Amino acid sequence: MSDKSGISILGIYVADTAYVATRMPVMGETLSGSGFSLGPGGKGSNQAVAAGRAGAQTSFISKIGNDPFGEMALKIYQESGVTPKLTIMDDMPSGAAFIFVDEQTGANAIIVYPGAAGTISVEDVVAQSACIESSSVFVTQLEQPAEAAHKGLEIARNAKVRTVFNPAPANDFPEEIYPLCDYIVPNETEAEALVGFPILTEQDAARAGDMLLARGVGAALITLGERGVYYHTSQVSRLIPSVTNGVVIDTAGAGDAFIGGFAAALADGANDIEAVQFGCATAGIAVTRRGTAPAMPDLKEILELLETPDAIKGGAR
Protein backbone atom coordinates (compact mmCIF):
# COMPACT_ATOMS: atom_id res chain seq x y z
CA MET A 1 0.00 0.00 0.00
CA SER A 2 1.48 3.35 -1.05
CA ASP A 3 1.87 6.07 1.55
CA LYS A 4 1.29 8.66 -1.19
CA SER A 5 -2.11 10.15 -1.96
CA GLY A 6 -3.76 13.01 -3.77
CA ILE A 7 -2.36 15.59 -6.14
CA SER A 8 0.04 18.50 -5.73
CA ILE A 9 -0.03 21.21 -8.39
CA LEU A 10 2.54 23.95 -8.89
CA GLY A 11 1.38 26.86 -11.00
CA ILE A 12 0.00 30.36 -11.08
CA TYR A 13 -3.25 31.99 -10.06
CA VAL A 14 -4.60 34.96 -11.98
CA ALA A 15 -7.94 36.73 -12.00
CA ASP A 16 -9.57 36.14 -15.40
CA THR A 17 -11.25 39.11 -17.02
CA ALA A 18 -13.16 37.72 -20.01
CA TYR A 19 -14.67 39.85 -22.77
CA VAL A 20 -17.13 38.41 -25.31
CA ALA A 21 -17.31 40.07 -28.76
CA THR A 22 -17.61 39.33 -32.46
CA ARG A 23 -13.88 39.81 -33.04
CA MET A 24 -10.71 41.27 -31.55
CA PRO A 25 -10.29 45.03 -32.05
CA VAL A 26 -7.38 46.26 -34.12
CA MET A 27 -4.90 48.72 -32.63
CA GLY A 28 -6.58 52.06 -31.92
CA GLU A 29 -10.10 50.65 -32.32
CA THR A 30 -12.84 50.32 -29.69
CA LEU A 31 -15.53 47.64 -30.08
CA SER A 32 -18.72 46.99 -28.18
CA GLY A 33 -18.75 43.65 -26.44
CA SER A 34 -21.66 41.32 -25.73
CA GLY A 35 -20.50 39.88 -22.42
CA PHE A 36 -18.04 40.15 -19.52
CA SER A 37 -17.05 37.97 -16.59
CA LEU A 38 -14.55 38.20 -13.75
CA GLY A 39 -13.39 35.04 -12.05
CA PRO A 40 -10.44 33.02 -10.78
CA GLY A 41 -8.03 31.57 -13.37
CA GLY A 42 -4.42 30.70 -14.18
CA LYS A 43 -3.48 27.30 -15.58
CA GLY A 44 -2.23 25.72 -12.37
CA SER A 45 -5.06 27.18 -10.32
CA ASN A 46 -7.67 26.04 -12.84
CA GLN A 47 -6.18 22.54 -12.86
CA ALA A 48 -6.29 22.44 -9.07
CA VAL A 49 -9.94 23.51 -8.99
CA ALA A 50 -10.80 20.92 -11.66
CA ALA A 51 -9.03 18.17 -9.71
CA GLY A 52 -10.56 19.22 -6.40
CA ARG A 53 -14.09 19.32 -7.80
CA ALA A 54 -13.47 15.96 -9.46
CA GLY A 55 -13.00 14.49 -6.02
CA ALA A 56 -9.22 14.43 -5.61
CA GLN A 57 -7.36 15.52 -2.50
CA THR A 58 -5.54 18.47 -4.07
CA SER A 59 -2.87 20.92 -2.89
CA PHE A 60 -2.01 24.04 -4.90
CA ILE A 61 1.45 25.61 -4.59
CA SER A 62 1.72 29.25 -5.69
CA LYS A 63 1.97 32.92 -4.73
CA ILE A 64 -0.76 35.55 -4.66
CA GLY A 65 -1.04 39.21 -3.73
CA ASN A 66 -2.68 40.55 -0.59
CA ASP A 67 -5.56 42.05 -2.59
CA PRO A 68 -9.18 41.43 -3.70
CA PHE A 69 -8.05 39.16 -6.55
CA GLY A 70 -6.14 37.06 -4.02
CA GLU A 71 -9.22 36.86 -1.80
CA MET A 72 -11.12 35.50 -4.80
CA ALA A 73 -8.54 32.71 -5.07
CA LEU A 74 -8.88 31.68 -1.43
CA LYS A 75 -12.66 31.61 -1.76
CA ILE A 76 -12.75 29.24 -4.73
CA TYR A 77 -10.16 26.92 -3.15
CA GLN A 78 -12.33 26.63 -0.07
CA GLU A 79 -15.41 25.96 -2.23
CA SER A 80 -13.58 23.38 -4.37
CA GLY A 81 -11.84 21.40 -1.65
CA VAL A 82 -8.35 22.58 -2.63
CA THR A 83 -5.69 22.99 0.07
CA PRO A 84 -3.79 26.24 -0.66
CA LYS A 85 -0.02 26.14 -0.16
CA LEU A 86 0.41 29.84 -0.86
CA THR A 87 2.80 32.66 -0.14
CA ILE A 88 0.79 35.90 0.17
CA MET A 89 2.80 38.95 -0.95
CA ASP A 90 2.21 42.54 0.19
CA ASP A 91 4.47 44.11 -2.45
CA MET A 92 3.16 42.36 -5.59
CA PRO A 93 -0.38 42.13 -6.99
CA SER A 94 -2.14 38.88 -7.78
CA GLY A 95 -1.90 38.04 -11.46
CA ALA A 96 -4.55 38.91 -14.04
CA ALA A 97 -5.51 37.70 -17.52
CA PHE A 98 -7.27 39.36 -20.45
CA ILE A 99 -9.41 36.80 -22.31
CA PHE A 100 -11.16 37.53 -25.60
CA VAL A 101 -13.96 35.05 -26.35
CA ASP A 102 -15.47 34.88 -29.85
CA GLU A 103 -19.25 35.05 -29.32
CA GLN A 104 -19.92 32.81 -32.35
CA THR A 105 -17.44 29.97 -31.80
CA GLY A 106 -16.31 30.21 -28.17
CA ALA A 107 -12.67 30.33 -29.34
CA ASN A 108 -10.38 32.47 -27.22
CA ALA A 109 -7.18 34.54 -27.15
CA ILE A 110 -5.44 35.33 -23.86
CA ILE A 111 -2.85 37.72 -22.39
CA VAL A 112 -1.54 36.76 -18.93
CA TYR A 113 0.35 38.84 -16.36
CA PRO A 114 1.42 36.46 -13.57
CA GLY A 115 1.97 39.11 -10.88
CA ALA A 116 3.04 37.57 -7.58
CA ALA A 117 3.13 34.08 -9.10
CA GLY A 118 5.75 35.24 -11.59
CA THR A 119 8.21 35.42 -8.68
CA ILE A 120 7.91 31.71 -7.80
CA SER A 121 11.50 30.54 -7.30
CA VAL A 122 13.35 27.27 -6.94
CA GLU A 123 13.58 28.03 -3.21
CA ASP A 124 9.80 28.41 -3.00
CA VAL A 125 9.36 24.99 -4.57
CA VAL A 126 11.95 23.36 -2.31
CA ALA A 127 10.04 24.78 0.67
CA GLN A 128 7.04 22.69 -0.46
CA SER A 129 9.04 19.47 -0.94
CA ALA A 130 7.06 17.57 1.69
CA CYS A 131 3.77 18.41 -0.04
CA ILE A 132 5.09 17.21 -3.42
CA GLU A 133 6.78 14.09 -2.06
CA SER A 134 3.65 12.88 -0.25
CA SER A 135 1.47 13.19 -3.37
CA SER A 136 0.46 10.41 -5.72
CA VAL A 137 0.59 12.78 -8.74
CA PHE A 138 2.45 16.07 -9.32
CA VAL A 139 1.38 18.54 -12.01
CA THR A 140 3.04 21.70 -13.33
CA GLN A 141 3.13 24.01 -16.37
CA LEU A 142 5.18 26.96 -17.71
CA GLU A 143 3.28 30.05 -16.58
CA GLN A 144 5.66 30.29 -13.60
CA PRO A 145 9.43 30.37 -14.26
CA ALA A 146 10.69 27.20 -15.99
CA GLU A 147 13.38 26.62 -13.37
CA ALA A 148 10.67 26.36 -10.69
CA ALA A 149 8.75 23.81 -12.77
CA HIS A 150 12.00 21.88 -13.33
CA LYS A 151 12.70 21.72 -9.60
CA GLY A 152 9.16 20.55 -8.84
CA LEU A 153 9.40 17.75 -11.40
CA GLU A 154 12.82 16.78 -10.04
CA ILE A 155 11.55 16.59 -6.46
CA ALA A 156 8.56 14.52 -7.56
CA ARG A 157 10.62 12.12 -9.68
CA ASN A 158 13.13 11.55 -6.87
CA ALA A 159 10.22 10.69 -4.55
CA LYS A 160 8.68 8.30 -7.13
CA VAL A 161 5.65 10.55 -7.58
CA ARG A 162 4.01 10.38 -11.02
CA THR A 163 4.58 13.58 -12.98
CA VAL A 164 2.33 15.45 -15.40
CA PHE A 165 3.91 18.33 -17.34
CA ASN A 166 1.77 20.77 -19.33
CA PRO A 167 4.24 22.78 -21.51
CA ALA A 168 1.95 25.80 -21.67
CA PRO A 169 2.35 28.49 -22.67
CA ALA A 170 4.86 27.38 -25.32
CA ASN A 171 7.89 28.95 -23.61
CA ASP A 172 11.42 27.59 -23.75
CA PHE A 173 12.39 25.10 -21.07
CA PRO A 174 15.46 22.95 -20.34
CA GLU A 175 15.76 19.68 -22.27
CA GLU A 176 16.44 18.01 -18.91
CA ILE A 177 12.73 18.33 -18.11
CA TYR A 178 11.66 15.70 -20.65
CA PRO A 179 13.04 12.64 -18.81
CA LEU A 180 11.30 13.83 -15.63
CA CYS A 181 7.85 13.58 -17.27
CA ASP A 182 5.71 10.48 -16.90
CA TYR A 183 3.15 12.38 -18.98
CA ILE A 184 3.60 15.45 -21.19
CA VAL A 185 0.33 17.16 -22.20
CA PRO A 186 0.60 19.83 -24.93
CA ASN A 187 -2.19 21.04 -27.20
CA GLU A 188 -1.70 21.21 -30.99
CA THR A 189 -0.02 24.63 -30.88
CA GLU A 190 2.32 23.70 -28.05
CA ALA A 191 3.16 20.35 -29.66
CA GLU A 192 4.04 22.14 -32.91
CA ALA A 193 6.38 24.44 -30.97
CA LEU A 194 8.06 21.39 -29.42
CA VAL A 195 8.49 19.26 -32.55
CA GLY A 196 8.67 21.84 -35.35
CA PHE A 197 5.73 20.79 -37.53
CA PRO A 198 1.94 21.32 -37.37
CA ILE A 199 -0.28 18.64 -35.84
CA LEU A 200 -2.98 18.33 -38.50
CA THR A 201 -3.65 14.59 -38.54
CA GLU A 202 -3.47 11.60 -36.23
CA GLN A 203 -0.33 10.56 -38.10
CA ASP A 204 1.22 13.94 -37.22
CA ALA A 205 0.28 13.40 -33.58
CA ALA A 206 1.86 9.92 -33.59
CA ARG A 207 5.04 11.28 -35.17
CA ALA A 208 5.18 14.08 -32.59
CA GLY A 209 4.60 11.53 -29.85
CA ASP A 210 7.54 9.48 -31.10
CA MET A 211 9.78 12.55 -30.94
CA LEU A 212 8.67 13.36 -27.39
CA LEU A 213 9.21 9.76 -26.27
CA ALA A 214 12.71 9.86 -27.81
CA ARG A 215 13.45 12.85 -25.54
CA GLY A 216 12.61 10.76 -22.48
CA VAL A 217 8.94 11.23 -21.64
CA GLY A 218 6.87 8.22 -20.61
CA ALA A 219 3.68 9.12 -22.48
CA ALA A 220 2.61 11.97 -24.76
CA LEU A 221 -1.00 13.19 -24.57
CA ILE A 222 -1.66 15.71 -27.34
CA THR A 223 -5.00 17.47 -26.94
CA LEU A 224 -6.68 18.00 -30.31
CA GLY A 225 -9.65 20.23 -29.57
CA GLU A 226 -13.03 18.78 -30.44
CA ARG A 227 -11.38 15.64 -31.90
CA GLY A 228 -10.19 14.49 -28.48
CA VAL A 229 -6.78 13.49 -27.10
CA TYR A 230 -4.07 11.53 -28.89
CA TYR A 231 -2.47 9.13 -26.38
CA HIS A 232 0.96 7.84 -27.39
CA THR A 233 3.37 5.49 -25.62
CA SER A 234 5.86 2.91 -26.84
CA GLN A 235 3.05 0.31 -26.64
CA VAL A 236 -0.15 2.21 -27.44
CA SER A 237 -0.97 4.93 -29.99
CA ARG A 238 -4.61 5.97 -30.33
CA LEU A 239 -7.08 8.84 -30.46
CA ILE A 240 -9.46 8.96 -27.52
CA PRO A 241 -12.54 10.92 -28.66
CA SER A 242 -13.83 13.89 -26.73
CA VAL A 243 -17.39 14.03 -25.41
CA THR A 244 -19.62 16.83 -24.27
CA ASN A 245 -23.09 17.19 -22.80
CA GLY A 246 -24.18 20.33 -24.62
CA VAL A 247 -23.26 23.20 -26.91
CA VAL A 248 -19.66 24.44 -26.78
CA ILE A 249 -19.70 28.13 -25.82
CA ASP A 250 -16.29 28.81 -24.23
CA THR A 251 -13.10 26.78 -24.68
CA ALA A 252 -11.00 28.90 -22.28
CA GLY A 253 -9.74 26.59 -19.53
CA ALA A 254 -10.76 23.38 -21.32
CA GLY A 255 -7.18 22.08 -21.40
CA ASP A 256 -6.91 22.79 -17.68
CA ALA A 257 -10.16 20.91 -17.08
CA PHE A 258 -8.73 17.93 -18.97
CA ILE A 259 -5.48 17.91 -17.00
CA GLY A 260 -7.21 18.34 -13.65
CA GLY A 261 -9.62 15.51 -14.43
CA PHE A 262 -6.86 13.30 -15.84
CA ALA A 263 -4.70 13.79 -12.72
CA ALA A 264 -7.68 13.19 -10.41
CA ALA A 265 -8.44 9.89 -12.12
CA LEU A 266 -4.79 8.79 -11.98
CA ALA A 267 -4.65 9.59 -8.26
CA ASP A 268 -7.82 7.52 -7.78
CA GLY A 269 -6.17 4.47 -9.34
CA ALA A 270 -7.49 4.65 -12.92
CA ASN A 271 -5.33 3.31 -15.74
CA ASP A 272 -4.07 5.74 -18.38
CA ILE A 273 -6.90 5.25 -20.89
CA GLU A 274 -9.57 5.54 -18.19
CA ALA A 275 -7.87 8.68 -16.88
CA VAL A 276 -7.81 10.25 -20.36
CA GLN A 277 -11.51 9.47 -20.82
CA PHE A 278 -12.26 11.00 -17.41
CA GLY A 279 -10.26 14.10 -18.38
CA CYS A 280 -12.12 14.38 -21.69
CA ALA A 281 -15.46 14.25 -19.86
CA THR A 282 -14.29 16.92 -17.42
CA ALA A 283 -13.34 19.21 -20.30
CA GLY A 284 -16.46 18.31 -22.26
CA ILE A 285 -18.64 19.74 -19.51
CA ALA A 286 -16.45 22.80 -18.86
CA VAL A 287 -16.70 24.01 -22.48
CA THR A 288 -20.50 24.27 -22.20
CA ARG A 289 -20.13 26.99 -19.55
CA ARG A 290 -18.64 30.47 -19.47
CA GLY A 291 -15.41 31.06 -17.56
CA THR A 292 -12.50 28.90 -16.53
CA ALA A 293 -12.34 27.74 -12.89
CA PRO A 294 -16.07 28.44 -12.27
CA ALA A 295 -16.91 26.16 -15.23
CA MET A 296 -15.23 23.07 -13.76
CA PRO A 297 -17.70 20.23 -13.11
CA ASP A 298 -18.06 18.12 -10.00
CA LEU A 299 -17.50 14.37 -9.76
CA LYS A 300 -21.19 13.49 -10.08
CA GLU A 301 -21.52 15.41 -13.35
CA ILE A 302 -18.40 13.81 -14.83
CA LEU A 303 -19.53 10.28 -13.94
CA GLU A 304 -23.01 10.95 -15.38
CA LEU A 305 -21.50 12.07 -18.71
CA LEU A 306 -19.22 9.03 -18.84
CA GLU A 307 -22.26 6.80 -18.33
CA THR A 308 -24.34 8.52 -21.05
CA PRO A 309 -24.32 6.28 -24.15
CA ASP A 310 -25.39 9.06 -26.53
CA ALA A 311 -22.97 11.75 -25.28
CA ILE A 312 -22.15 14.21 -28.05
CA LYS A 313 -18.71 13.78 -29.61
CA GLY A 314 -16.55 16.91 -29.57
CA GLY A 315 -15.65 19.28 -26.74
CA ALA A 316 -12.24 18.84 -25.10
CA ARG A 317 -9.36 21.10 -26.05
| Residues with catalytic function | 256
What secondary structure letter does DSSP report for 187? B
Best CA proximity match to 12, nearest among 181, 130, 180, 166? 166
Q: How far apart are CA 47 and CA 58, in angstroms?
A: 10
**Strand extents, DSSP E, 43-173:** 58-65, 82-89, 94-102, 108-115, 137-140, 162-165
Report the SS3 class of residue 224: coil
CA 316 to chain centre: 12
Closest CA to 92 of 62, 128, 119, 61: 119
Q: Report helix, strand or coil for 269.
A: coil
